[in-house]
A and B are shown apart, each in its own frame.
Chain A
């Protein structure tokens, strides 16, 4: 019974899915009930993931892990998705896909992410990954009358399925050498296994598959199109929850082998990190569409986080988790503000639509400015400390050059984030078109802003908590 209590967050979300399917069938106006129901489910799951944080252990025959950093991830996923649902209530009417299924699919995607973070078996990881990805494929194309959304969805499903081919083949080779797919057993025998070229090849293919999911450089081609073509709220969820879930798997693999055996991964992640940071920051400068700009910035952020994977010590793992928590709230906030400013038929997404926003709607302009400051990594917001911890860990791991590349590309990226702020505050608006406003959206953005500020003011509290679970 204690086991079932320990995975209450997962059980809440899973039973929430079943109940929401029943609501969808029985009720005629499920699209009015389901957002509140699913937000409630996610909120209670997040509350329980905080309450049960100290009950660390594994359950179901070593299949799932509970407590500790796993539940920090669960908190990130559930709160992030809840904010997205609040932001969606008014947005999806405007977007033209006012269906109850939207919320069921979001709940399912969250379940997949939570499974990925909890999983202690490679096939469990794979099923979680597919559960999340398939929901995202559908959510990306949920408005099937829009060609943009169709195209985003098709590109995502083709490249996502391609990536899962790599993941499965990698798992097959790992199973062939380790004779098990249990992550704990693989880690226990990691040192002899790491001399086996078959095992390393399997691990490499697995990492390639996951590099697609974290949107790192050579595997990034789908990112800009998918983020631009999907509904804005869904792009917000994909870029934060999806990325965090993929990173949680990489962190599990890494934290067990850190710090002694990290060298196996180092060259791969160092290359990926360098390329993603530089490519993402430079290409983002030339973008005029805000969603596309944030997509390239998301590639750059995947690069900064990969620095932590390359350095592979406990500080870097704590740094990545902190960074992911901070990034989730700043990026979700930014996407929700964009979704409120967006007009019908994908209009008002260009930089020019943000000229003089302060005069039109000071509330949204202030929120957007805060998220842009945080994303650019300027102190005192949460984004600064995320980058700071990761860079410090790289220096400790004798990867100073990687930290320097990171600082340089952060400086480049300040340009395109601050450009948005300059346009909003220091330019006069050319037109005086009213901005759509949504109370729920503003509420979600304010909550994200509070998290960004609190993490920025008291970074040590969260970091100490994460570090205490790592030891």
Chain B
């Protein structure tokens, strides 16, 4: 048990436990805060995987952007935060069985059943930002441009739906 193992188990535990609470908590604000911990846990795992830049972006975009957006959504529709949210008993059991089946196949048959011939590379100590930036504006520049159009659409679309009356 060296330091890497401990860090991995710590972040994995944070991620999984908080992800579990996102789904099970009845209070929507608690769900949002558990989601925050999930995002942090995943960011920690990214650092452990040597993806430092992605980890920073994860915290900035997910925590700073998406989660704040979701919290705004919660607050703007605040009348339901105190309402007891019904968790239908009819759907739970088939859903859980189906998902357990999928997860079981995915984990035991696929991930643990595959012969991994992964290259045992050392995690690079230097930052990945340079390599990523180069890929982003060479091989994947077209996708990058299209994402610009996508964000334009989102601006127009969200404004169209949520605007005031003319």
Q: Give the chain A neighbours of B162 by CB distance below 8 A.
A: 144
A-contact bits for B134-158, CB 8 A (1 contact / 0 none):
0000011011001101101110111
A224 part of interface (Cβ distance < 8 Å) = no
Q: How large is the interface on A (under 10, 10 to 19, 20 to 34, 35 or more residues)?
A: 20 to 34
- CB <8 Å contact, A101 and B156: yes
Q: Give the chain A neighbours of B158 by CB distance below 8 A.
A: 138
Please list the residues of chain A having a beta carbon within 8 angstroms of any beta carbon in chain B. 14, 17, 21, 60-61, 63-64, 99, 101, 104-105, 108, 111, 115, 121, 123-124, 127-128, 130-131, 134-135, 137-138, 141-142, 144, 153, 173, 196-198, 201
What's the Cα separation between A121 and B161 when bound, in Å? 32
- CB <8 Å contact, A127 and B153: no
Q: Give the chain B neighbours of A111 by CB distance below 8 A.
A: 149
B86 part of interface (Cβ distance < 8 Å) = no
Q: Give the chain B neighbours of A134 by CB distance below 8 A.
A: 150, 153-154, 157
Q: Which residue of B lies closest to A182 (CB)?
A: B139
What's the Cα separation between A123 and B114 when bound, in Å? 24
**8 A-B pairs (CB sep. < 8 Å):** A21-B152, A99-B160, A115-B146, A128-B146, A131-B153, A138-B157, A197-B109, A198-B114
- Smallest CB separation, B103 vs chain A (Å): 12
- CB <8 Å contact, A197 and B113: yes
Knowing that A130-B150, A137-B157 are A-B contacts, what are 6 other residue pairs whose CB atoms are under 8 Å apart, sorted by A's residue number?
A14-B149, A17-B149, A124-B143, A142-B160, A201-B106, A201-B110
- CB <8 Å contact, A64 and B142: yes
- Smallest CB separation, B70 vs chain A (Å): 13
What's the Cα separation between A319 and B114 when bound, in Å? 38
Q: Give the chain B neighbours of A108 by CB distance below 8 A.
A: 149, 153
Which of A123, A135, A144, A197 makes the CB contact (< 8 A) with B161? A144
What's the Cα separation between A144 and B142 when bound, in Å? 34
What's the Cα separation between A170 and B127 when bound, in Å? 28
Q: Give the chain A neighbours of B143 by CB distance below 8 A.
A: 63, 121, 123-124, 127
- CB <8 Å contact, B161 and A138: yes
